[in-house]
Amino acid sequence: MTVCFILGGPGSGKGTQCAKLVQDFGFVHMSAGDLLREEQQRPGSEYGELIQNCIKEGKIVPSEVTITLLEKKIIESDSNRFLIDGFPRQLDQALAFEKEVVESTLIIYLECSEEVMLKRLLKRGETSGRIDDNKETILKRFKTFLELSYPVVEHFRKSGKVHTVPCEDSVEEVYARVKPIFAELFKQK
């Protein structure tokens, strides 16, 4: 089984790049954020209120909740190739996922300034309807990323699995940097 983590700050383009990789390499894309939002809205969810409060506060949902949802999706899938974006968000999540589910093969870190990410997120917020696409929550999310999520990148960097990709350019220019990394490791579909 192949699991690739796509990491980067809020608005760095994780979902956008994943969509292109799915097209070219046949991976199944799982967005931790989308899974959590779906679970939050599922009638009778035991985690719904907890997830909603975390999202509203710009905080990280407890590891066991996110890992449970990701593992369930992996088990339900017919594929053995997964792109997981927006996860792991903390070092304990990374360690628990790799111990309990599967070890990652590759990590792409989309590097972007807060200024560019803020601009992208505010633009997305005009149409997304997401409660976390407002300036106050976005700034909290940046702080959370720097304090809790960036150490995950540093942890994986020691293992040689991290490929840092500057991502302030156009979608196409960023993908021109991401695609060869995958092409070297995985056959195109």
- Per the annotation, binding residues are 11-16, 37, 59-61, 86-89, 93, 124, 130, 141, 169
Alpha carbons 123 and 125: distance in angstroms, whole number: 5
Binding residues for a ribonucleoside 5'-phosphate: 37, 59-61, 86-89, 93, 130, 141
Strands ordered across the beta sheet of 106-111: 28-31, 81-85, 2-8, 106-111, 162-166
Report whether the peptide linkage leading into residue 88 is cis, meaning its omega lies within 30 degrees of zero: yes
106 backbone dihedrals φ, ψ, rounded to 5°: -155, 145
DSSP 8-state symbol, 147: I
The answer to whether residues 77 and 150 touch, using CB atoms and an 8 Å cutoff, is no
Binding residues for ATP: 11-16, 124, 169
Alpha carbons 70 and 47: distance in angstroms, whole number: 14
19 backbone dihedrals φ, ψ, rounded to 5°: -60, -40
Residue 179's alpha-carbon distances to 131, 145, 167, in angstroms, are: 32, 25, 13
